[in-house]
Amino acid sequence: MTPAGNKNVTSIDQGRPRRRRPDREFVAQAGRLLGDGEGRIPELLHELLSPDVTAARICRLLASDVALSARVLKVANSAWYGQHRNISSIDRAIVVLGLSVLRRLVLAASCLRIRRTRQAPGLPDSGAVIAHSLAVAIGAQLLAAEQGDTDPETAFVAGLLHDFGLLVEFSMEAEGLGADLTTPGQATIGGTPEAWLSRERQHFGWDHTDLGAALLESWQIPENVVYSTEWHHQPTHAPHSAKRLSALVALGDALAGNIGMGLTLFSEPEEPAPCVLEALGFDWEERCEWQQRMADELRPYASLGA
C-alpha cells in the first residue's frame, strides 16, 4: 500500500489552504484496513449518523449483529445505570437509556470492532487510540451541552472519529514511520502534536487529519464532522460552519490528555491553544471540574471493551 497524492480537488479542499491528499484509490484501500471482518463499519456509521435515525432503525441494525448487541446490553446492565431488573433486549434498552445514549453506545461499540492488521514498532495500538477518542468525544459532548450552540450528539461523533486517520496509519505498513518517530522503549517523541504532524507529512506527504477527513468523506459522513476531523489541530482554519465544532474537539483533546487519556504517541499539551479557549470562552483554570465530569461519564463505557 503506497501513499499517493490526490490529483483531484474534492469538496473538503474548497476554500482552505491546499494540502496534498491521499488519492481515492488509496483511501478506499485504507478504509478496508479498518474492517471488522464483515465490512460493516462504514454501514453502521452511515446509518447511525443519519439525521433520520430512529429507535426502530437501530433495533434492525443490532438484530443482525449478535456480538454488537451483547456489548451494548452489557453496558446497559452495568451498575452505572442502576437498573434493578435485567435489560434483555435492545427495545428495553431504548426505553431505559433513551435513543441518544443508546446511539452513543452503539457508535463506541462499533469503533471498538476495528481490527489491527499490523503494528509499527513503538506506536500505540488501536485500542489506545479508540479509548483516547472516546474521552475526546465525551469532553466535546459535555462542552457542547453546556454552551448550547452546538448539537451535543454531533460533538460526540466528531470527537469519536477525529483520529480515524491515525487508526489507518497504524494499521498499514508503517514500520518506517514508527522507526522515524520513536526510540526503543520510548513510545513518545517527547514533543507536540505539531511535531508528529510534521513527521507524517515528511513520510507520507500528508498527515492523519488529511487521511481521516478523506476517509470519512468517502463514507459519506456528515460534512461538518469531516471538517472537524481535518482541522481539529488547527480549528481557526476550519470553514466557518465547522469552526466551533473543531474547537470543541480540540478542547476535548486537551482535556482528555489531562485526565490521562492522551496518546503516548506524544506529550499532550498541558493547555490548548489560546485561540481555542477564546473561541469557546473557556477558563482553563476551571478544567478540574470538567475533567471530573468526563471521568464520570466515561465509566459506563469501560464495559464495552471487556
In a domain, 12, yes or no: no
Task: Answer for the pair 71, 304: CB distance below 8 angstroms, yes or no.
Answer: yes
* Tens digit of each residue's pLDDT, the chain (306 residues): 555 554 433 333 444 455 667 888 878 877 776 665 455 778 788 888 888 888 888 888 888 788 888 888 887 777 566 666 678 888 888 888 888 888 888 888 888 777 555 556 667 777 788 889 999 999 999 999 999 889 999 999 999 999 999 888 877 654 444 445 554 444 455 567 777 888 888 878 889 999 999 999 988 899 999 999 999 999 999 999 999 999 999 999 999 988 888 876 655 556 788 999 999 999 999 899 999 999 988 888 877 764
In Å, how far are 62, 153, 161, 241, 300 from 71, measured between CA atoms?
11, 20, 20, 35, 12
Q: How far apart are CA 30 and CA 161, in angstroms?
A: 15
In a domain, 120, yes or no: yes
Q: How many domains does the chain have?
A: 1
C-alpha cell at 51: 439525521
Q: How far apart are CA 4 and CA 208, in angstroms?
A: 14
Helix (H, G, I), strand (E, B) or coil at 107: helix
So what's the pLDDT on residue 102? 85
Residue 53: give its domain's CATH number: 1.10.3210.10
Burial 111-129 (b: 16+ CB within 10 A, else e): bbbbeeeeebebbbebebb
In a domain, 79, yes or no: yes
In a domain, 10, yes or no: no
Q: What is the domain range of residue 121?
A: 29-305
Vertex 44, ends 301 and 35: CA angle to 5°?
A: 90
So what's the pLDDT on residue 10? 39
Q: What is the dihedral of CA 173, 179, 182, 186, to 10 degrees?
A: 90
* pTM of the full structure: 0.84
In a domain, 74, yes or no: yes
In a domain, 22, yes or no: no
In a domain, 214, yes or no: yes
So what's the pLDDT on residue 228? 96
Beta bridge partners of 5: 22
In a domain, 2, yes or no: no
So what's the pLDDT on residue 19? 63
Q: How far apart are CA 38 and CA 115, in angstroms?
A: 11
